[in-house]
Amino acid sequence: MLVASNRGPVSYEVGEDGSLRARRGGGGLVSGLSAIGPEAGALWVCSALSDGDREAVRRGAGEDGVRMLDIPADVHADAYNGIANSVLWFVHHMLYQTPLEPVFDAEFRRRWASYEAYNRAFAEALAEEAARGAAVLVQDYHLTLVPGLLRDLRPDLRIGHFSHTPWAPPEYFAMLPDDIARQVLRGMLGADRLGFLTRRWADAFTACCERFAGGLGDTRIGVHGLGADADFLRARSHEADVDERMAALREEIGEGRRTVVRVDRTELSKNIVRGLLAYRQLLDDRPEWRERVVHVAFAYPSRQDLAVYRDYTAEVQRLAEDINARYGTPGWRPVVLHVKDDFARSLAAYRLADVALVNPIRDGMNLVAKEVPVVSDAGCALVLSREAGAHEELGEDAITVNPYDVVDTARALHEALTMSPADRTDRTKRLVASATALPPARWFLDQLEALRGAAASH
């Protein structure tokens, strides 16, 4: 079995003494794959992303079970930043400010050629490594062309692809140049089976294929809603470093105050700015909450090579400071914002959460919505965007919001903060049950089994 993704399960740093240090990544895919154990003989094909990664490739020092591809840095940058993150991510999350963007010009075509070369490098490496009849699980929007390219090279393989993002509806997908739209869909349809996080994203993909590619052909579609890893989270969140972070956070929050917690990578799709606007609206509409609540917002850096991400991060910081300057008092900081990634501190915030705010513009799943109820010490109320994939599973026990409506989100925050303890406990129980229905290992194995079944009939 082989897995292919842009970001792999491990990354390397070169130490001052010249030695290589490996750091294992987290995430559902890594824990899902580790659950099947090394005896499965799986190989993970990924990109070298850092200088340390490239050095590891040059020294032939990679970990067993991982093959990093040393794709030229400029080709990788064009494919990853120029296409995957700036075009495909924007299309699927519907993020364009359409009066001015997108513009598909000659520069776009140049980058697209890099995206093709980068996908080809993956397809060739997979074709070279795979044993006869092996199963290959390709991940995400970075690698949409790989299934088709790989099918041409190795018709014997069973090929699956999984999208961790939403899929754009046909009206939005139609923004792509016609030939590119067709190429993406045909690339995906080279797979025996395509997996999505929710029925909604699967249906959007099917609708795009009907409109632009003459239908799905023989390719099967499946839905696998990745769940939270409850055992891992519960154990990890009671380790000593998390307790330390809790003490520090309690200090920042102040005695006896309620908390509205959010933890995100600072993606444009996470809607952190409107979350802050909604919190400010709450303080305006319901002055009784002043001094009695703190918005704990962790916004960790992501994709800082892109100016639009850097600008967004700066806006989050500016607005948080603005709220603190306007409403804060000597003993009360209304927003506690942290931007330095710290997993133990994230878990500490989860444990302290009275309310979890998860209000993305659009999101494949959003695991934070599933993790906070599992980890929170006293149960939490969940304010959840109807545009998050997680809403399909958690919507009934969450307080649903339209992510663009900050007045209504402020109302939802008030409702969450005033929820009765009994209601909060009951809802948390049901949220936890839904959130943990499909743990990472099961999620992964289900896909593998389904691929074996689908390939037999392709």
Note the residues at the interface with ligand F6P (CB under 6 A).
6-7, 140, 164-165, 302-303, 364
Residue with Cβ nearer ligand F6P (164 or 193): 164
Residue at 173: amino acid letter: F
- Taking Cα atoms as reference points, which of 207, 216, 191, 199 lies closest to residue 140? 191
d(CA 397, CA 394): 6
CA 122 to chain CA mean position, Å: 22
Residue least distant from ligand F6P (Cβ)? 164
Which residues are registered as beta bridge partners of 2? 43, 136
Torsion sign, CA atoms 285, 286, 292, 296:
negative
Write down the least CB distance from residue 3 to ligand F6P, Å: 12
CB 10 within 8 A of CB 57: no
Write down the least CB distance from residue 37 to ligand F6P, Å: 22
d(CA 68, CA 143): 15
Q: State how beta strands 335-338 and 220-223 pair.
A: unpaired
Write down the least CB distance from residue 414 to ligand F6P, Å: 30
DSSP per-residue letters across 150-163: HHHH-TTSEEEEE-
Write down the least CB distance from residue 110 to ligand F6P, Å: 21
Residue with Cβ nearer ligand F6P (140 or 387): 140
Q: Which residue do the tokens 């330095």 mark?
A: 340
Residue with Cβ nearer ligand F6P (275 or 379): 275
Question: Which residues are within 8 A (CB) of 190 and not within 5 positions of it... i.e. 6 or more apart?
Answer: 146, 147, 148, 149, 150, 151, 152, 159
Residue with Cβ nearer ligand F6P (140 or 393): 140
Structure tokens, 111? 């980058």
421-435 vs 368-375: helix crossing angle, rounded to 10? 120
Write down the least CB distance from residue 8 to ligand F6P, Å: 10
d(CA 249, CA 234): 19
Which three-class secondary structure state does DSSP give residue 82?
helix
Residue with Cβ nearer ligand F6P (7 or 310): 7
CA 4 to chain CA mean position, Å: 17
Which residues are registered as beta bridge partners of 12? 22
Write down the least CB distance from residue 309 to ligand F6P, Å: 10
Residue with Cβ nearer ligand F6P (6 or 259): 6
Residue with Cβ nearer ligand F6P (25 or 215): 25
Residue with Cβ nearer ligand F6P (141 or 350): 141
Write down the least CB distance from residue 366 to ligand F6P, Å: 9
Write down the least CB distance from residue 254 to ligand F6P, Å: 33
d(CA 338, CA 262): 11
Residue with Cβ nearer ligand F6P (195 or 379): 195
d(CA 61, CA 451): 32
CA 90, 93, 97: angle at the middle one, nearest 5?
55
CB 65 within 8 A of CB 333: no
Residue with Cβ nearer ligand F6P (6 or 114): 6
Write down the least CB distance from residue 6 to ligand F6P, Å: 6
Write down the least CB distance from residue 70 to ligand F6P, Å: 17
φ, ψ at 78 (rounded to 5°)? -65, -40
